[in-house]
Amino acid sequence: MTLVIGTHEVEDVAKWVSSPVRQSVFGSKGIKVTTLTDPQGSNVTGLLFDVPDMDEFQSMMQSDEMKKAAEEDGVKFDTLQVLVET
């Protein structure tokens, strides 16, 4: 398993946190996801992923399905930053 951290801005933090979309998209690929929010109340959010297959994860992140899911959740996809365990 590889740990990956992703951060991005969202339009509405409460909506993003309560959305089941992210869990269904990543969970279907066996990726465990932990949701993180800024305690200061900004619209910056994060995800901690436990990824079993990095090639599949990278392909998935480039897919139309992922862009659609992010759009549904109000993610500002152009603010996405990803860090990978080394």
Report the distance separating Cα 73 and Cα 71, nearest Å: 5
Confidence of residue 82 (pLDDT cuts 50, 70, 90): very high
Domains and CATH numbers, the chain: 2-84 (3.30.70.600)
How close are the terminal C-alpha atoms of the chain, in Å? 12
Mean pLDDT of 6-11: 97
Per-residue confidence (pLDDT) for residue 30, from 0 to 100: 94
Residue 62: count of CB within 10 angstroms of its CB: 9
Rg of the chain over Cα atoms, rounded to whole angstroms, equals 12
For residue 76, give the DSSP letter.
E
Strand intervals (E) in the chain: 2-10, 32-37, 44-51, 75-84
Helix or strand or coil: residue 24?
helix
Mean pLDDT of 35-55: 96
Per-residue confidence (pLDDT) for residue 63, from 0 to 100: 92
